[in-house]
Copies of this chain bind each other. A is one copy, B any other.
Amino acid sequence: MIDPLIALPGYVLNRAAAANLANLNQQLSKLGLRHSDASLLMLVASNAGLTQSDAGKMLDIQRANMVPLVSRLMKRDLILKEPVDGRSHGLFLTRKGKAFHKEAVAIINDLEARMLESVSEDLRPHLMPILGALWDFNMKKPAG
C-alpha cells in the first residue's frame, strides 16, 4: 500500500494534532473536562476578570461559541461572572475552579512533557520554533 499523504507536512501536522487532542481529552476526562474547558480555565487563571469576548479572541473561538462553553463551566461552579459594565462580564475562577485548574494543569504538563521527551534531544530545541512558524504562516490566511 502506497500512502502519498505521509510525505505532506500539513497532513502529518493534522494527524499529529488530532491524535494529541484525543490523548488530551482522554486524560482530561478523568476530571470530566474537555480540552476547551481546560484551556478556558487556564486563561481565566492567568487573567482573572477577563471578558468572555477577550477569552474568545485569544482562543480563536467566536463569541457565539463561547456561550455554551462558559455556561457549562458556570453550571459546574468552576467559573463565575461579575458585571464589568452594562454589557460585559469578567470571568473568575471559583474555589472549586482553582482546584480543577490545578489538576488540569498537572495532567496537561505531564502529557506535554512526555510528548517532548519523545522527540530526540537534538531536535527538541527546534520544536517550538517550527510549530510557531507553521502557526504564523497559516494564521495569516495566505490566500495563495
Instruction: Tell me the interface secondary structure of chain A in the complex.
Output: helix
- A74 contacts across to B, CB distance below 8 A: none
Q: Given A1-B58, A5-B42, A5-B43, decide whether A133 and B123 contact each other with a Cβ distance below 8 A.
A: yes
Copies of chain A in the complex = 2
Interface 1/0 per residue, A31-56 and B, CB below 8 Å: 00000000100110111001000100
Bound Cα distance A118, B129 (Å):
11
Q: Given A17-B14, A17-B18, A128-B9, decide whether A23 and B138 contact each other with a Cβ distance below 8 A.
A: yes
Chain A positions near chain B (C-beta within 8 angstroms): 1-5, 8-24, 26-27, 39, 42-43, 45-47, 50, 54, 58-60, 108, 110-112, 114-116, 118-120, 123, 126-139, 141-144
